Structure 1
Amino acid sequence: MSRGNSNSSNSGGGSHCYHFVFLLLTVSLLSPSASARFFPNVTSIPHDDFLFNATKTAWDAFRNLSGCHHGQTLDGLAKLKQYFNQFGYLPPPPANFTDDFDDSLESAIKTYQHNFNLNVTGQLDPHTLQLIQRPRCGNADIVNGSTSMNSGKAPTPFHTVAHYEFFPGRPRWTKSLLTYAFLPENQLTDDAKGVFTRAFARWSEVIPLTFQQTEDIYAADIRIAFFAGDHGDGEPFDGALGTLGHAFSPPSGRLHLDGDESWVVTGDVTRSSLETAVDLESVAVHEIGHLLGLGHSSVEEAIMFPTLSSRTKKVILASDDIEGVQQLYGSNPNYSGSSSTPSPPTAGQRETSGAPLGGDSTLGLTLLSMFVTVGSVLILL
């Protein structure tokens, strides 16, 4: 998902409405008038009491396309083409997308399979569809028709090929202290804000940048907000387990998260009984990488890999993440070179280690509750 500074580049509700308000924000930095839903009440509740009506996820219907190949026409292929367009694999058509499995879709699938280290068949085989259906970052994998997610070179015993990428032009911050603030209407708890403190710290450990919270969202370098649906930046959110969030390259500083997700703030997300549970810190660390200027990586262990399964914790920077961000900012003089680098996972394992989030060590998960208010927003963060 690489997104630059424009408001409409390739990217790259299931709640009860209790009342309605109308909010005009006068930040002069960003997007034009739009309608969006935001979350003025963020509370902590036990996960077993969490009411969430979105049992079907954003891309569930794609599973019906298994085995589809070139030359076929099948209901749902048009929506799949929209997916590939959203993440940079297909250009927009002169008219509407069709349900034909044509040359352009086959080419897009092959590029996608190459980027994600799958067998390049050009067909919708089970492994490809399984990855397509995973929750992911909303930034595009391909920007302006080019990608460096996967260089196509295999690692040798003597050399490891980097698979990180940057935004076009390699934008970066030119100051060493960056401030960040939260959309006040979200009313985040201290626990939720602490998640971002830890997420920023993971990056500042390896580069000579520091991050400081401020209450002034109008003056902050980085502005963090939860929205649902269309929120005015040209990249609407799509409900549970679709796009989890997106962020813009320096110096925009915008980080948006989908308010319709079942965000886990504290506790062990891997033990959640909620199938839609998503670890907030894991997504925050990834999106901060975009705020710093990193694009996506084809290394599955990397934080900057585009997808994250539900009930998965992934917060430790891999060597690919560290090498990439240090290309932009250099190394933190105090960085030891080892504390953030995970050991390679064994076959079949997924990286779930990381700093404890606190809370009940058994079943006690803290989630962001979805008490929704509808707002008409003039200028969005």
Structure 2
Amino acid sequence: MEAKVSSMPSVFVYSLLLLPFLSQATSSDLSPFRFFKDLQGSKKGDKVEGIHKVRNYLQRFGYLSSTHSKTESQVDGDDHFDDDLESAIQAFQTYYHLKPTGILDAPTAALMSRPRCGVPDNPSVTNNTNSHGHSHLNIGTHFAFFPNNPRWPPGQTHLLYVLDSGSHSEAADAVGKAFGAWAAISKFTFEQTSDPTVANLNISFQIREHGDGSPFDGPGGTIAHAAPPTDGRFHFDGDETWVVGAVANSIDLQTVATHEIGHLLGLAHSSVEAAIMFAYIAPGATKGLNQDDIAGITALYTG
């Protein structure tokens, strides 16, 4: 007992010495995606240490097929910027309305560095055509659906959800408001239940543990994910700094909940940055439903 007490002052002093440095660190400094900054400017033909991380990222989020490219072991050890990687970067740039240079240029690296949803994008759905094949270029919408357009059956419009908020007491109100936003512009209604056996939707915070297979990667990387209808699972990354409202270097619960509920209803990612279904979020930002989101949910359930 005495040994523990005597060690505390040195730990306390060490913590005080670290505090100024920790307080100056931003979410981007700590993000698992911070490697993009170091690799910015890489292009085809280069061999750059760490470029395999870009390949893994593009494979993870839907721009590079594992069967089309190298095996996983080759990807992890190969730092050659090849034709496949250039094409995948061009596909990413095209999807997000960036200049399709095929180079990991500053705008591309900046977007890839931002926190994002863990659900892969759907670049096979072009920016001009939705999953039903109907052009929506003229009305400025770029919504998309999951492959094969999964949706809730016509008679199932009242959905029950269970929320395990853990230590995040503010989550219940934020999630409730997020459901309310979708209820206001769709045919769906939502009700919270404490019984997981009857719930259609199951929401919780997931803490990453080493080797547990979690898709989360620490603060500032993938912040949440959700399954399409009718699976009903939705996880927040428990390692993020979650808040309600616009707070610097933090992630707004209601904004992310509204995004992930869109997935639960059948919407995939949109390439419209103002849309709630845009895959990326800036720390300290808040966002609500956009006309693109409303057009998407309307098309999915009336098409």
* TM-score of the superposed pair, with normalisation by structure 2: 0.82
Residues 1:108 and 2:88 are matched in the alignment: yes
User: Counterpart of 1:130 in 2: which secondary structure?
Assistant: helix
> CA shift at 1:105, angstroms?
0.4
User: Counterpart of 2:74 in 1: which secondary structure?
Assistant: coil
| Closer, same or farther: CA 250–234 of 1 in aligned 2, 3 Å | farther
Tell me the distance in 2 between the aligned counterparts of 1:69 and 1:231. 33
Residues 1:202 and 2:150 are matched in the alignment: no
| Closer, same or farther: CA 232–251 of 1 in aligned 2, 3 Å | farther
Residues 1:148 and 2:128 are matched in the alignment: no
Tell me the distance in 1 between the aligned counterparts of 2:232 and 2:241. 24
1:1-381 matches, within 5 Å, as 56-92=30-66, 93-94=70-71, 95-97=73-75, 98-142=78-122, 147-148=124-125, 150-151=127-128, 159-174=138-153, 175-183=156-164, 186-189=166-169, 191-229=170-208, 236-265=215-244, 268-269=245-246, 272=247, 274-275=248-249, 277-315=250-288, 317-330=289-302
> CA shift at 1:90, angstroms?
1.1
> CA shift at 1:58, angstroms?
1.3
Tell me the distance in 1 between the aligned counterparts of 2:258 and 2:87. 32
What CA RMSD, in Å, does the superposition of the two structures yield over aligned residues? 2.5
Tell me the distance in 1 between the aligned counterparts of 2:282 and 2:26. 19
Instruction: Give the equivalent residue in structure 1 for 2:18.
Output: none
- Paired residues, what number? 266
Instruction: Give the equivalent residue in structure 1 for 2:12.
Output: none
> CA shift at 1:329, angstroms?
2.7
Ranges in structure 2 where 5+ consecutive residues have no aligned partner: 1-22, 131-136
Ranges in structure 1 where 5+ consecutive residues have no aligned partner: 1-49, 332-381
> CA shift at 1:150, angstroms?
1.7
Check whether the contact 1:200–1:285 (CA below 8 A) recurs between aligned residues.
yes
Tell me the distance in 2 between the aligned counterparts of 1:282 and 1:161. 22
User: Counterpart of 2:270 in 1: which secondary structure?
Assistant: coil
Deviates further, 102-111 or 235-244 = 235-244
Tell me the distance in 1 between the aligned counterparts of 2:116 and 2:296. 20
Check whether the contact 2:118–2:215 (CA below 8 A) recurs between aligned residues.
no
Tell me the distance in 2 between the aligned counterparts of 1:204 and 1:330. 16
Deviates further, 230-239 or 246-255 = 230-239
**Superposed CA offset, 1:175-196 (max 9, x none):** 0100000137x2542x320101
Tell me the distance in 1 between the aligned counterparts of 2:300 and 2:152. 9
Check whether the contact 1:228–1:239 (CA below 8 A) recurs between aligned residues.
no
Higher helix share: 2
| Closer, same or farther: CA 232–76 of 1 in aligned 2, 3 Å | closer
* TM-score of the superposed pair, with normalisation by structure 1: 0.65
> CA shift at 1:80, angstroms?
1.0
Q: Answer with 1 or 2: which has the greater Rg.
A: 2
- Tell me which amino acid in the other structure corresponds to 1:321: D
- Tell me which amino acid in the other structure corresponds to 1:80: V
> CA shift at 1:295, angstroms?
0.4
Structure number with greater CO (CA < 8 Å, separation at least 6) is: 1
